[in-house]
Amino acid sequence: MVTTSFKTTKSEEIFAAAQKLMPGGVSSPVRAFKSVGGQPIVFDRVKGAYIWDIDGNQYIDYVGTWGPAICGHAHPEVIEALHNALAKGTSFGAPSVLENVLAEMVIDAVPSIEMVRFVNSGTEACMAVSRLMRAFTGRDKMIKFEGCYHGHADMFLVKAGSGVATLGLPDSPGVPKSTTVNTLTAPFNNLEAVKALFEENPNEIAGVILEPVVGNAGFIPPDAGFLEGLRLITRENGALLVFDEVMTGFRIAYGGAQEKFGITPDLTTLGKIIGGGLPVGAYGGRRDIMSMVAPSGPMYQAGTLSGNPLAMTAGIKTLELLQKSGTYDYLDRITKKLSDGLLQIAKEKGHAVCGGQISGMFGLFFTSGPVHNYEDAKKSETAKFSRFHRGMLERGIYLAPSQFEAGFTSVAHTEEDIDRTLAAAREVMSSI
């Protein structure tokens, strides 16, 4: 099933030129394929569940712009809405009714959010929410979990996931110790470690921030009772609980992980899907906390392009599409078929693997597992994953170029796409 016409000559030429123009030839580190070997393919266009590279190769896409393409790439209704919005202008730097519409949709959907502020990226949302939790509590310290990624702001680049984990980098140079001294870390799914940090830092911890389902150290779901335990511990200690739902928001349920697991945090960060593929982020939560944000309150945060009409338009249309009956049942069904199939094939071929899925989010580790946290994930055979990734790429399947990134499906993926993916996996698993 190897695609005999698989050639990447143009991609290689373009990437070679890019390396002279941009650090590593990319605008974001994981795209460079450093952890999986070979050179990245250069995209030409996307549509539905598919990608075409500059050499004309077609792929089934399980990255989906790292999550936003839940309705499929370039959905015709989103494109039409954007065409109409473009005629009115690309940026206002002033209020528009579109912000009200999307804000109401987010507030109606996400249990924790009573007020919301739009920004331009998940990093920006997490940076602002860390400032907000400190402003509200009057405390400086916060707890994050090893392998969780909350953007590249200084205070979060401590035992971080995503590209930091993928590239095996230590805590980033250029980040002053004075910035990270107040960032405490614990293993994911370890309540005792969290309790110990609160005991060691009485009345000093502003809050706990986490990905409720980890996607930036690979796919790692919460153990039973973990989220409930965090909710109890933070309340007992007068601290805030923050869910970073940049990945999970509107993906594992319409109301995100907090709807799926029935746990309501104090604050939530969002991104990706609520921009329908355009740059966007948001943070929101309880009204009394959000009232601290300027101009209502003293905590300053601003952004010229925040709430821009194009991102708002794409987000509104995407959320409308997700409200169609059966959307999440379909996502769960096809993703379960994919995840279960990959695990079964790998085990049949003698590979030690573990993994799973929730709705349209999945992951596969080349280790017997179980994987409860980042330390467990690091036991994976990354060299084997690299061979698997390349073999799938050559057969027209595009997976995240890292063992430490979750995969994503969309409602545009068909049963035939899943069958073709599993057939490719069977071939690759036989040869790696």
Is residue 28 packed enough to be buried (19+ CB in 10 Å), middle (13-18) or exposed (0-12)?
exposed
Active-site pick, 50, 59, 62, 149: 149
Q: Which of 159, 272, 317, 337 is catalytic?
A: 272
Tokens 């123009």, located at residue: 21
Q: Is 332 among the residues known to form the active site?
A: no
Dihedral (C-alpha) 117, 120, 123, 124: value to the nearest 10 degrees? -50
Angstrom distance (rounded) from CA 407 to CA 413: 13
Cα–chain center distance at 6? 29
Return d(Cα 395, Cα 271) in angstroms, integer.
31
User: Considering 53, 55, 61, 244, which one is annotated as catalytic?
Assistant: 244
- Which residue spans within 233-360 are E strands per DSSP? 240-244, 267-271, 281-285, 354-358
What CA–CA distances, in Å, run from 380 to 43, 169, 394? Answer: 29, 17, 22
Q: Is 272 a catalytic residue?
A: yes
Residue 347 falls in the annotated catalytic set: no
Output the CA–CA distances (angstroms, integers) from residue 254 to 107, 251, 291, in the order listed: 12, 6, 25
How many CA atoms are closer than 13 Å to the CA of 172, on its beta-carbon side? 18
Strand ranges, E, within 49-163: 50-53, 58-61, 115-119, 141-145
Q: Is residue 119 within 8 Å of 303, Cβ to Cβ?
A: yes
- From CA 117, how far away is CA 137, in angstroms rounded? 19
251 contacts 287 by C-beta, under 8 angstroms = no
Q: Which residues, in sequence order, are CB contacts of 295 under 8 Å at separation 6+?
A: none
Identify which of 409, 407, 32, 404 has the alpha carbon closest to the alpha carbon of residue 216.
404
Hey, how many other C-beta atoms are within 10 angstroms of the C-beta on 14? Answer: 18
How many Å apart are CA 284 and CA 125, to the nearest integer? 9
User: Which residues are catalytic, by number?
Assistant: 149, 244, 272
